[in-house]
Structure 1
Amino acid sequence: MTDTLFLTSDDVSGLATPGEYVEAVREGYRQRGEGAPAEPRTTLVNDEPTGMLTGYSAVLPETGAMGGYMYTAGFGERDAWFVTPLFDAESGEPKALLDGASMNPFKTGAAGAVGVDALAREDATKLAIVGSGAQARGQLRATATVRDLDSVWVYSPTKENRESFAAEMNERLDASVAAVASSAAAVEDADVVVTATNASEPVFDGDLLDDGTHVTAMGQYHPEKRELDAETIARATYVPDLRDRVTQDAGSFLHALEEGVVSEDHVHAELGEVVAGKAPGRESDDEVTVFDSGGTGIETVAAAQLLYEKARSEDLGSTISLSPASEALTGE
């Protein structure tokens, strides 16, 4: 039997700062750039009741951890549950099992921030964010750790939601955060644009982007979801989290491909290759860049290991026992 740490969502909530998530996730992507294994998500869709079962995984050898996410969404309860198993990368033994819900916006936001840090101009101070939910909060809080933001404009379709978001983030951040009445108003003059939506159609016109703008899109992980239009993809130096995702579920890229404005060669590099110095990031101040963040096991394992270490140092969580196959596979 092996003792394994079990961490509830309450155990890990607030356990790490946005900056700590960003540093852990950046290191994870560096390892991916050096060749660490990671696979895109696999999603199984159920028709009745409507729902999906999704999983993805990664191995981070230098972090000493491997694992990933498995989660359900929809079905009879019309809700979602996130489970994160974490294993030792040397022994293969289970280290922890985490309720992954509360860390989700922070680890995803950290991936977005690593993309901003690798691809946005160093002097970027003006940010537009489209979306006002938990993921938008995670993206903004993480991005504020990698750029000195002066102004943030937020748009989402529901006026009350965007105004509530702006009021909350105005209190939390040093930047001035204001709600605006359209995505066009948000994107105009922005140095960085972050989309955090579940949109099936583009949320802004790519012609509105100033030269030199960086875009992080994190809500497009299905062939029929596309936050970005073909113009944005065509204009940009395009960097996905995983190259193998691009023709699988990167909806904005797939639509641009179908429209004939790009080819598969339009992929510049994976984010990990840029972070590891294997490929250049931004090469000019007037370059438009895109980080397509569909979600991977890289940020999941990096964040889970961070939380595991912090929980152990603070004596949080409970212990469950798991049996190795040598003991459990008895055939009796």
Structure 2
Amino acid sequence: MLVLDDAQTRAALPWAGLIDAVAHMFKGDCVMPVRHHHAMAVPGERDATLLLMPAWVPGHYSGVKVLSLFPDNGSRGLPAIHGTYLLSSGKTGEMLAIIDGGELTARRTAATSALAARLLAREGSTELLVCGTGRLSLNLMQAHAEVRPLTRIHVWGRNPEAAAATAEAARLMGLPALLVTDLETAARQADIISCATLSSQPLIDGGWLKAGAHLDLVGGFKPDMRETDDTAIRRSSVFVDTLAGATHEAGDIVQPMKSGVLAPGDIRAELAELLRGSKPGRRSADEITLFKSVGAALEDLAGAILAYETVRGGASA
């Protein structure tokens, strides 16, 4: 049985291959039951979240991710996300691999955002604004740079020191990243805005979005979390990774639906429909597009299969 730690998982998931693997899985016949989502009390701190996410491709592979998110881990110098992925044969049930779930989650999440940007962001987009300084931020910069010719990346965070450190880490990777402290000015200039925070209050004012902008909302995964406001919803063509997930778990979708700002029929498409060509994506250069993801188990399975087959030299179950 293969066991991959975080560094080995990272090495086995190159961006171009991972983005394509996620696209292939969204277009395919992966079975994805509703994930288990449990709140766990942490005395004196915000609640943690336990996720169990199964998926399988009949006759080929099956897998499940066990993931925990402890939002106050930053105060301990620890990542918010810890997890493990268990990959098995879809023919025999034999365990094939144990893969670092935190690294897998960060990379497949960023790959999905980049895939959406490849479909929705305006051609020639060169300026990216990343809101957030957690583990996912660097992944988002790398992944978006894979699909659009970025010449400037701005990094904003509530803690300027953390944002400066994130920008410096990105520069060491060869990315054109700079710290910004004026969020409004940076948002007004950006071609693509990617938010990866645990905010419960909107960070991005929809009035800041310029014509042709693409807004990528990654962080909020519960109904009481939100990274943008109703104005952004009204001004944007709204797309989601999965309707089932986004309309039940994402505050950026659930809250405006509850208030009547967004009707179910206003959501233009989910990612699978864009990839299959059954629904259109961006329709004009001036259109503002908004993509909300909450994560899907098929993304994890796509990444786990890619990692396993990369390390095993193309072996399959």
**TM-score > 0.5 by shorter chain:** yes
Compare CA radii of gyration and give the structure with the larger one: 1
Q: Is the 8 A contact 2:114 2:147 kept in 1?
A: yes
Please report how far the alpha carbon of residue 55 of structure 1 lies from its aligned counterpart in structure 2 after TM superposition.
1.4
Q: Which residue of 2 aligns with 1:313?
A: 313
Counterparts of 2:200 and 2:263, CA distance in 1 = 22
Unmatched 5+ stretches in structure 2: none
Q: Is the 8 A contact 1:234 1:256 kept in 2?
A: no
Q: Which amino acid aligns with 1:46?
A: M
Q: Which residue of 2 aligns with 1:41?
A: 35
Counterpart secondary structure, 2:82: strand
Give 2:68's match in structure 1, choosing from 41, 52, 72: 72
Q: Is the 8 A contact 1:240 1:271 kept in 2?
A: yes
Residue 165 of structure 2 corresponds to residue 159 of structure 1: no
Q: Which residue of 2 aligns with 1:59?
A: 56
Q: Which residue of 1 aligns with 2:224?
A: 224
Query: When the two structures are superposed, what TM-score results if normalisation uses the length of structure 1?
Result: 0.85
Q: Which residue of 2 aligns with 1:169?
A: 170
- Larger deviation: 37-46 or 237-246? 37-46
Q: Which residue of 2 aligns with 1:304?
A: 304
Q: Is the 8 A contact 1:24 1:306 kept in 2?
A: yes
Counterpart secondary structure, 1:212: coil
> Any idea what the Cα deviations from partners look like across 1:185-214, whole Å, max 9, x if unmatched?
221121111001111111111111012111
Q: How many residues align?
A: 307
Q: Which amino acid aligns with 2:49?
A: M
Q: Which residue of 1 aligns with 2:249?
A: 249
Please report how far the alpha carbon of residue 140 of structure 1 lies from its aligned counterpart in structure 2 after TM superposition.
0.9
Counterpart secondary structure, 2:155: strand
What does 1:81-120 align with in structure 2 at a 5 Å threshold? 81-120=82-121
> Any idea what the Cα deviations from partners look like across 1:196-253, whole Å, max 9, x if unmatched?
1111111111111012111111111100001121111222221111111133111111
Q: Which residue of 2 aligns with 1:178?
A: 178
Q: Which residue of 2 aligns with 1:23?
A: 20
Query: When the two structures are superposed, what TM-score results if normalisation uses the length of structure 2?
Result: 0.88
- CA-based RMSD of the aligned residues comes to 2.5
Counterpart secondary structure, 1:56: strand
Q: Which amino acid aligns with 1:135?
A: L
> Any idea what the Cα deviations from partners look like across 1:161-206, whole Å, max 9, x if unmatched?
11122222223235x3211112212211211110011111111111
Report % sequence identity: 27
Please report how far the alpha carbon of residue 131 of structure 1 lies from its aligned counterpart in structure 2 after TM superposition.
0.9
- Structure with more contact order per residue of length (Cα contacts < 8 Å, sep ≥ 6): 1
Q: Which residue of 1 aligns with 2:2?
A: 5
Please report how far the alpha carbon of residue 18 of structure 1 lies from its aligned counterpart in structure 2 after TM superposition.
2.2
